[in-house]
Amino acid sequence: MRVDLNVPLEDGAVADDLRITTALPTLEWLRENDAAVVVAGHLGRPKGAPDPEYSMAPVAARLSELLGQAVPLAPHVVGAAVDSYVASLEPGDLLMLENLRFERGETEDDPAFSTNLSELADDYVNEAFGASHRAHASIVGPPRLLPSAGGRLLFREVETLSRLLEAEEHPFVAVLGGAEISGKIDVIRSLLPRVDELLIGGAMACTFFRAMGLEVGDSLVEADRIELAKDLLATSGKKLILPRGGDIAPSLERASEHRSVAVDAIPKGWAVYDIDAATQHDYRARLLRAKTIFWNGPMGVFETPPFDAGTRAIATALVEAGKKGAVTVVGGGDSVAAVAGLEDQLTHVSTGGGASLEFLEGKELPGVAALEDK
């Protein structure tokens, strides 16, 4: 079973186990059905060779705590020692392989490495949606050689994100924020024909303001994306909804001096760090009319209060819209952190990060394609 185990570590222990806990239903189902499960994942970016800093040991320890069962860690990814360990497994037993990226063959999708990995098991389950946008050996190799299936979480990700692409229920409103347009341009292009409105927040909005000829002070702007923002405004101006005003401060260190201004009154020497209350109000009203909502990227520097207000307001509006029957989906890294604690009041929180964005760009994910018809 390939799992997305790339969790953050702190002082040698798992700091956030969301990715491990979301894989538990599939793992427990396999054990209840008497499978011996070999769990494989990667952690960080070791350079194709063993590196104790990136050992899976803390991950195996955390999984063992969560399951209340021993999860031994194999000494390597493949090789004779691992083979004999696997041969000794009884139904219901677990074994975690060492970090897949200790082997150069993983990121290179080396056929010999794929074969060695596949020989460890009778069947393959991909429960690593967050890694399925990469054609790495552990993602695309075993499905070529073994009976394969997607895990429950991967299935849910594909099903929910496909629903967004098909945009079944209108109005479909997307909210995009975060620091940069550049990483999200393909998502914007893919979503624009599908959505009724695209609400923009975060620093990204400032690049649009500049494209409109507005002064943005010291706000974060991508100078090389202003032309692109102009094009988007010219072709899709009606669907693109921009903030009415911003919460500004002279710097993040001087956050206590913050105040709200309209977008055409941003003074020199100040920067926009959040959407203002009027925009929160406007965006909430638009979200409450929606039947389908996708949100990626915080509305402001939510790590530094009070500039978390806009992001919180959007999170609350999504929950409210969901209570009225809307499908609500949140994807991304920082946006997922921003809705921590609200997961069960949203239709779906995609832990897939880059993979969920690529899926919404309309790209075929190699790991998902490899499982098709299986």
Judge if the upstream peptide bond of residue 171 is cis by omega within 30 degrees of 0: yes
Task: Kindly tell me which residue out of 57, 333, 342, 347 binds ligand ADP, with binding defined by CB under 6 A.
Answer: 333
Q: Is 333 in the site for Mg ion (CB under 5 A)?
A: yes
Helices (H) and strands (E) in the chain, counts: 16, 16
Residue listed under structure tokens 């975690």 = 96
Smallest gap from residue 350 Cβ to Mg ion (A): 13
Cβ atoms of 92 and 34 closer than 8 Å: yes
Q: Is 178 in the site for ligand ADP (CB under 6 A)?
A: yes
Write out the two tokens for 14. Answer: 């798992």
Bridge partners (DSSP) of residue 24 are none
Give Cα 104 distance to the centre of its chain. Answer: 25
* Residue window 144-173: x/- pattern of binding to ligand ADP, with contact defined by CB under 6 A: ------------------------------
Residue 217 interacts with Mg ion (CB under 5 A): yes or no: no
By CB under 5 A, is residue 180 in contact with Mg ion?
A: no
Closer CB to ligand ADP, 338 or 370, in the complex:
338
- Segment near Mg ion (CB under 5 A); pick from 116-124, 299-307, 334-342, 358-366: 334-342
Closest to 116 in 3D by CA, of 149, 81, 151: 81
Q: What CA–CA distance (Å, rounded) separates 150 from 352?
A: 14
Candidate ranges 17-25, 90-98, 175-183, 223-231; the one touching ligand ADP (CB under 6 A): 175-183
Q: Does 334 bind Mg ion (CB under 5 A)?
A: yes
Q: At what angle do helices 57-67 and 18-32 cross, to 10 degrees?
A: 60
| Contact flag: residue 218 with ligand ADP (CB under 6 A) | no
Q: Which stretch binds ligand ADP (CB under 6 A): 38-46, 124-132, 177-185, 366-374?
A: 177-185
* Least distance CB 219 / ligand ADP (angstroms): 6
Binding residues among 179-198 for ligand ADP as defined by CB under 6 A: 179
Taking the complex as a whole, how short is the minimal distance between the CB of residue 333 and Mg ion, in angstroms?
Answer: 4
Question: By C-beta, is 102 or 302 nearer to Mg ion?
Answer: 302
Site string for ligand ADP, 280-319 (x = CB under 6 A): ----------------xxx-xx-x----------------
Q: Does 222 bind ligand ADP (CB under 6 A)?
A: no
Q: What is the dihedral of CA 174, 179, 184, 187, to 10 degrees?
A: -10
Which residues make beta-bridge pairs with 330?
295, 349
Pick 202 or 367: Cβ nearer Mg ion: 202
Asked if 306 is part of the footprint of Mg ion (rule: CB under 5 A), the reply reads: no
Residue 335 contacts ligand ADP per CB under 6 A: yes
Nearer to ligand ADP, 150 or 300 (CB): 300
DSSP state of 333: S
Q: How many residues does the chain have?
A: 374
Q: What is the torsional sign of CA 203, 207, 208, 209?
A: positive
Residue 371 per-residue DSSP state: T
- Cα–Cα distance list, 48 to 56, 71, 107, 255 (Å): 15, 24, 8, 44
Q: How far is the CB of 184 from ligand ADP (least distance, A)?
A: 7
Task: Identify the DSSP state of 358.
Answer: H
Instruction: Tell me the window of 63-71, 81-89, 176-184, 340-348 that interacts with ligand ADP (CB under 6 A).
Output: 176-184
Which positions ≥6 away from 112 have C-beta within 8 Å? 105
**Residue closer to ligand ADP, measured from CB, 158 or 203:** 203
Can you read off the two tokens belonging to residue 235?
């072709």
- Least distance (Å) from ligand ADP to the CB of residue 271? 7
Give the residue at shortest CB distance from ligand ADP: 178
Torsions phi, psi for 48 (to 5 deg):
75, 20
Q: State the residues that interact with Mg ion by CB under 5 A.
A: 333-334
Binding site for ligand ADP (CB under 6 A): 177-179, 202-203, 220, 272-273, 296-298, 300-301, 303, 332-335
